[in-house]
Amino acid sequence: MKLPLIAAAIALLSITGAANAEEHVVQMLNKGDKGSMVFQPDFIRAAPGDTIKFVPTDKTHNAEIIKGMIPDGAEPFKGKASEEITVTLTKEGVYGVKCAPHYGMGMVALIVVGKPVNLETAEAVKQIGKAKPVFAELFAEATKAASN
């Protein structure tokens, strides 16, 4: 008798967790609030289990993980150009995202899921072109958010 009750409780908790998950929508734009070739927003605070939907508002953009900028054990993702991609992030940490065709132009984003457990490792990854100053701003925001 107890086993079915435990199974029902676990099922209810998993449904409740999924119901509490939030969806964050990120636009991939040729021109946005911070200039040209941007993710908007480019800094996202999420909880484990939240989904991030990257929407190619303008064509020729994609969203993919930057090597070395993902928590241990997390699944990397790589979207196709001009296609929407939705990812569910379950591992706590920092996720660095780029648009491959416009990476050097600074089209990058930073997602912090829960605690930024890999912040130092992600920050140590070498960046190219305009991605370097954009990430400097995003990491400053992540550090500030982590201290609150």
pLDDT for 11-54, tens place per residue? 444 444 456 889 999 999 999 999 999 999 999 999 999 999 99
Question: What's the mean per-residue pLDDT of the chain?
Answer: 90
pLDDT digits (tens, 9 = 90+) for 105-127: 999 999 999 999 999 999 999 99
Q: Is the pLDDT of residue 9 over 70?
A: no
pLDDT at 50: 98
With contact defined as beta carbons under 8 Å apart, do 55 and 80 qualify? no
Q: Whole-prediction pTM value?
A: 0.86
Q: What is the pLDDT of residues 74-95, one digit of tens each?
A: 999 999 999 999 999 999 999 9
